Amino acid sequence: MITSHSLNMRRKQSGITLIEVSIGLIIAAIVAAAAFIAFQNNARRTEVQDNIKQITEIISESKQKVGSTSGYTGFDENVAAQLAILKVDSAGGVLPNSYNGPIAIASTDPNSAVLTWSDVEGDQCSDIVLAISNGVTAITGTPEGGTAGTVTVANGQITLAETATLCGTGDAAVDLAMTFGRR
């Protein structure tokens, strides 16, 4: 026999409440936000590693193909492109770095050259500087709208205070000029 009490019990047990739906949506939003932050951090880390790899490859190939033979006199991005050290487009122009900034190489004397990596994102600058310091003798950093700072790299080591000199303290883009050559 169906009573009014059993009908009330069925009504109370059917479906979910607005509070339960709200709690579910809040949990889903937290999980989505955490996934988004993790994705951004991973993308940033990948971009930094790609730039470090490109810079070290350019410096290493330059030392191997140019520095160990005739010296760096006359070495520039055109010579580097001809030697397949720098990547070029179909018209022969040097492709920009991943920050869409120009890449330049210039010789300062027969024993060294300077690789300029422009428009490095401010929050990635110190990671790049610390990673490439082992292969260079000096680094000059010029934050956008700021003044240039130069650090002589001794024994491939650079301090965090020196990275602040090179990269500045804000998120402004930085042009890095890395001197490398015969040691």
Work out the pLDDT band at 5, boundaries 50, 70, 90: low
Instruction: Write down the pTM of the prediction.
Output: 0.74
pLDDT of 10 above 60: no
Give domain 4-181's CATH architecture. Answer: 2-Layer Sandwich (3.30)
Per-residue pLDDT, 69: 74
What are the extents of the domains in the chain?
Answer: 4-181
Provide mean pLDDT across the span 30-36: 88
* Digit-coded pLDDT (tens) for 82-132: 888 888 888 888 888 888 889 999 987 888 999 999 988 888 888 898 888
Sequence-distant (≥ 6) Cβ neighbours of residue 50 within 8 angstroms: 98
